[in-house]
């Protein structure tokens, strides 16, 4: 046991890493580690890494380098690397960074306590297996702290193999957790104060977990979760357009707890590029899907991801991307310059000129910013639900998220964190909305 030792975790990448970091903190908690938010105090520094773009994964090596003075001052400090870079480059990390004591891939987190013990005894440890057992079954059951909004991983891995993406290699094949386990984790979270759950999966809407009476899709899971008393809001992310089942779309019309915000990446508006990306749908099919979703839930706020500068992208292809951005009228979007990733099919293709890609990214981002501002401005005067998640910056203020996932702050000295209240939006700023609490 490492009684009273301190653990500092830095999390990169997606929400699943955020969830995993919490679970790893719990697993190491059982070994006596207590989380600290100061790296200088730590006995173990754990970097939970992301491999999605080159910049993200190179940053890990520079962050490891930055730990050198700490390690020199405290030779007993253990440095651990987890996440998708660990999975993709485990051996290389141990070679390139002698300071690293432990490397653990995303599917082996339940083995972390045992690895930590080995490392404490002076060894180095590497585990990037994809074990047959489910890591979630072997992780401690519950977190102690419960913020009002929590993540819950229901599905992991990806079988889609988009030509640019490392996720199928770093996270492995699609695996869905059984419905009963998810429901009991959700109940336990609600019992310690959680009011909103975001169901996570690399392809969350491809969920096909074992459940009562056979295999459940995500729509069925959402309906079952909505029966849990005290769970007021449900979200899920990230979805693939080809897995948007009718039952899930209908759930958006029928389940009031399911929030009107959907992250549904399209990546490009050009059929030629979509095909080269192996996205397996056309722009037109995507637009028709969006129509059906909006028919079920007219106030749905759609968010998306876009890649510019994918190999072979011409100015006409880029125009088609700008076109679909406007046509769908996304209220929120994330845009990335294509980054060639080792081992992916697109990595060997002729790249678009870097300056051209930069210019396209800027134009895309300007349009996205304008649309985000318009979506926020359109909220002024409207009545929305807000779940208070933390104190605001000013005295007497509380901050939370609206149904549409906008950040909102409200002057409400009598309010408390964890309350779901009705708010009228009074003003829109660049990053958040202001509102007043309504009575009743
Ligand atoms: N599973 C999710 C997204 C995973 S990665 C999905 O399928 O939508 C998040 C986003 O990063 C992707 O949607 C894509 O827009 C972007 N991305 C992934 N690989 C990339 C690469 N090689 N270069 C640039 N952006 C990339
Ligand atoms: Fe990557 Fe495509 Fe899978 Fe999303 S669907 S994780 S972009 S391969
Ligand atoms: Fe990054 Fe892995 Fe998530 S590559 S985006 S941390 S699944």
Q: What's the mean pLDDT in 9-20? A: 96
Q: Is residue 134's pLDDT more than 50? A: yes
At 421, list the tokens. 């209240």
pLDDT value at position 137? 74
Mark whether 105 and 154 lie in a shared domain: no
Distance from residue 12's CA to the centre of ligand 3 (Å): 8
Mean local confidence (pLDDT), 84-101: 96
Q: What tokens were used for 222?
A: 């959402």
Q: Is residue 85 part of a domain?
A: yes
Bond before 238 cis per omega within 30 degrees: yes
Ligand 3 centre from 67 Cα, in Å? Answer: 23
Which of 213, 236, 259 delimits the end of a domain?
259
Over pLDDT 70: what percentage of the chain?
98
**What are the tens digits of pLDDT across the range 253-276?**
999 999 999 999 999 999 999 999
**Nearest ligand to residue 161 Cα:** 2
Name the helix (H) or strand (E) containing 149: strand 149-153
CA angle 364, 370, 376 (to 5 degrees): 135
pLDDT digits 0-9 by tens, 143-188: 566 799 999 999 999 999 999 999 999 999 999 999 999 999 999 9
From 127, 154, 188, give the residue that closes a domain. Answer: 127
Do residues 192 and 239 share a domain?
yes
pTM of the full predicted structure? 0.96
- One domain, residues 203 and 245: yes
- Taking the centre of ligand 1 as the mean of its atom positions, its distance from the CA of residue 398, in whole angstroms, is 33
Write the residue with the smallest CA distance to atom 1 of ligand 3: 50
- What mean pLDDT value characterizes the chain? 95
Q: Are residues 106 and 204 in the same domain?
A: no
**Cβ 380 vs Cβ 427: under 8 Å:** yes
Is pLDDT of 142 > 70?
no
Q: Which atom of ligand 2 is nearest to the CA of 171?
A: 6
In CATH, what number is assigned to the domain containing residue 42? Answer: 3.40.50.12160
Q: Which residues contact 281 (CB under 8 A, 6 or more apart)?
A: 241, 242, 274
Q: Is residue 347 part of a domain?
A: no
Nearest CA to ligand 3 atom 7: 167
pLDDT band at residue 138 using 50, 70 and 90 as cut-offs: confident
Q: What is the mean pLDDT of residues 362-374?
A: 98
Q: Which residue in 216, 288, 300 sits closest to 253, CA to CA?
A: 300
Please indicate, yes or no, whether residues 118 and 195 belong to a single structural domain of this protein. no
* Token pair of 354 as six digits: 């870097």
Q: Are residues 157 and 217 in the same domain?
A: yes
Q: What is the CATH number of the domain that holds 173?
A: 3.30.750.210
Backbone angles phi, psi at 286, to 5 degrees: -65, -45
Evaluate: CB of 86 within 6 angstroms of ligand 3: no
Ligand 3 centre from 204 Cα, in Å?
14
Q: Compute the C-alpha angle 419/420/423, nearest 5°.
A: 120
Domain assignment present for 68: yes
For ligand 2, is residue 168 a contact (CB within 6 Å)? yes
Close Cβ partners of 356 (under 8 Å, ≥ 6 residues apart): 309
Same domain, 71 and 184: no
Pairing of strands 407-411, 332-337: unpaired
pLDDT at 439: 84
The pLDDT value recorded for residue 211 is 97
Same domain, yes or no: 96 and 184: no
The answer to whether 192 is a known ligand-binding residue is no
70 and 164 in a common domain: no
Q: Which of 250, 253, 255, 243 is nearest to 208 (CA)?
A: 243
Question: Which residue, of 259, 281, 313, is where some domain finishes?
Answer: 259
Same domain, 119 and 233: no
Give pLDDT tens digits for 179-235: 999 999 999 999 999 999 999 999 999 999 999 999 999 999 999 999 999 999 999
Strand pairing of 196-200 and 175-176?
Answer: unpaired
Tell me if 343 is assigned to some domain: no
Residue 50 beta carbon below 6 angstroms from any ligand 3 atom: yes
In a domain, 163, yes or no: yes
Residues 74 and 177 in one domain: no
Give the model's confidence band at 426: pLDDT under 50 very low, under 70 low, under 90 confident, else very high.
Answer: very high
- Give CA–CA dist 67/70, Å, rounded: 5
Sheet holding 233-237, edge to edge: 149-153, 196-200, 233-237
- What secondary structure letter does DSSP report for 228? S
The closest ligand to the CA of 88 turns out to be 3
Q: Please, where are the H alpha helices in 227-314?
A: 246-254, 271-276, 283-296
- Mutating to test ligand 3, I would choose from 10, 11, 17, 172 the residue with most ligand atoms within 8 A of its C-beta, which is 17
Q: How far apart are CA 435 and CA 440, in angstroms?
A: 16
To test the pocket of ligand 3, the residue of 24, 48, 60, 83 to mutate (highest count of ligand atoms within 8 Å of its CB) is 83
Tens digits of residue pLDDT in 319-336: 999 999 999 999 999 999
Is the pLDDT at 2 greater than 90? The verdict is no
Same domain, 115 and 56: yes
Determine the atom of ligand 1 nearest the C-alpha atom of 306. 15
Centre of ligand 3 to C-alpha 51, Å, is 6
Contact criterion met (CB below 8 Å) for 268 and 306: yes
Question: In terms of DSSP bridges, do strands 5-11 and 33-35 run parallel, antiparallel, or are they unpaired?
Answer: parallel
Is position 147 within any domain?
yes
Show the CA angle centred on residue 359, arms to residues 354 and 362, nearest 5°.
Answer: 125
In a domain, 303, yes or no: no
State the residue range of the domain holding 156.
Answer: 141-259
User: In which element (H, E) is residue 327 found?
Assistant: helix 315-328
Three-state secondary structure call for residue 162? coil
Ligand 3 centroid from CA 4, angstroms: 31
Q: Is the pLDDT of residue 111 over 90?
A: yes
Any idea which ligand is nearest the CA of 168? Answer: 2
Q: Please state the length of the chain.
A: 440
Q: Which ligand is nearest to the CA of 55?
A: 1
Tell whether 413 is covered by a domain: yes
- Between 370 and 138, where is the model more confident? 370
CA 348 to centroid of ligand 1, rounded, Å: 18
354-377 vs 315-328: helix crossing angle, rounded to 10: 10
402: CATH? 2.40.50.140
Domains in the chain: how many in total? 3
Task: Please indicate if the annotation marks 158 as binding a ligand.
Answer: yes
């Amino acid at each position: 046991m490492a009684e009273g030792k301190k653990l500092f975790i830095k999390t990169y990448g997606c929400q699943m890493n955020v969830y995993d970091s919490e679970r790893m903190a719990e697993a190491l908690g059982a070994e006596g580690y207590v989380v600290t938010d100061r790296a200088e105090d730590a006995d173990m520094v754990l970097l939970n890494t992301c491999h999605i773009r080159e910049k993200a994964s190179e940053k890990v090596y520079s962050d490891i380098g930055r730990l050198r003075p700490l390690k020199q001052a405290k030779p007993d400090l253990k440095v651990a690397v987890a996440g998708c870079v660990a999975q993709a480059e485990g051996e290389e990390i141990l070679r390139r960074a002698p300071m690293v004591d432990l490397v653990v891939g995303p599917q082996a987190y339940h083995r972390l306590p045992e690895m930590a013990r080995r490392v404490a005894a002076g060894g180095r440890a590497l585990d990037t297996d994809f074990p047959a057992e489910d890591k979630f079954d072997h992780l401690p059951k519950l977190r102690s702290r419960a913020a009002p909004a929590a993540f819950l991983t229901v599905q992991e891995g990806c079988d889609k193999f988009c030509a640019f993406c490392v996720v199928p290699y770093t996270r492995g094949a699609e695996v869905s957790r059984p419905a009963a386990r998810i429901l009991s984790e959700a109940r336990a979270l609600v019992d310690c104060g959680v009011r909103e759950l975001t169901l996570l999966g690399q392809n969350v809407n491809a969920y096909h977990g074992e459940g009562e009476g056979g295999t459940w899709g995500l729509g069925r899971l959402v309906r079952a979760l909505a029966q849990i008393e005290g769970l007021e809001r449900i979200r899920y992310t990230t979805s693939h357009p080809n897995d948007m089942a009718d039952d899930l779309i209908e759930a958006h019309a029928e389940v009031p707890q399911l929030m009107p915000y959907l992250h549904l990446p399209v990546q490009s508006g050009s059929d030629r590029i979509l095909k080269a990306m192996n996205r397996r749908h056309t722009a037109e099919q995507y637009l028709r899907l969006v129509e059906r979703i909006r028919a079920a839930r007219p106030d749905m706020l759609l968010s998306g991801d876009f890649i510019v500068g994918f190999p072979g992208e011409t100015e006409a292809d880029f125009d088609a991307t700008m076109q679909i951005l406007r046509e769908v009228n996304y209220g929120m979007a994330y845009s990335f310059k294509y980054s060639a990733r080792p081992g992916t099919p697109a990595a060997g293709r002729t790249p678009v000129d870097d300056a051209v890609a930069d210019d396209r990214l800027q134009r895309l981002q300007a349009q996205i910013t304008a649309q985000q501002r318009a979506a926020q401005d359109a909220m002024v005067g409207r009545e929305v639900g807000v779940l208070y998640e933390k104190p605001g910056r000013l005295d007497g203020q509380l901050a939370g998220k609206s149904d549409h996932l906008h950040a909102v702050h409200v002057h409400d000295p009598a309010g408390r964190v964890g309350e779901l209240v009705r708010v009228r939006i009074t003003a829109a700023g660049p990053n958040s909305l202001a509102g007043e609490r309504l009575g009743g």
